Amino acid sequence: MKTEKVSVNLSPTELGQIDLLVERGLFDGRSDFMRSAARKTLEGYASDFRQFLEPEHLKGEEESDLMWAIGISGLTKGEATHLIAKGKKIHVRVIGLYNIAKGITPEEIRQIILSCKVYGKLTASDEVKEALRDIEERGN
């Protein structure tokens, strides 16, 4: 899986403690320590993530109008065409990576997506990203 680089500012004492753990063989390196610390912290919030993605956060909306995922997800051209044909509009909630396929136009996005919140990374054309920003600014 592709990773993203993050910078963290630590005090000399914190950095020294990490280096000692690495020297003792408890971690392969500073990055290994940071990944481990991040994973352990995130595991402690697992129920909060699930709660965020549950339908009650969109009260008054039909459950079928909510598309949510933890991990890697996306919208294909075929799915977009199907949603438009059915007149379906969706709310998108993703923790991870959300990819909107090439070939999906901003006009199609406006016909499909009521709201879109991605915690992580959104991949889409610049025009589609602009359409999503417009949707979020309007509130629908």
Q: Are 66 and 91 in contact (CB under 8 A)?
A: yes
3-state secondary structure of 62: coil
Q: How far apart are CA 84 and CA 28, in angstroms?
A: 50
Give pLDDT tens digits for 13-69.
999 999 999 999 999 999 999 999 999 999 998 888 877 776 555 555 554 588 888
Contacts of 93 (CB under 8 A, 6+ apart): 52, 53, 57, 66, 67, 68, 69, 117
The confidence score (pLDDT) of residue 4 equals 82
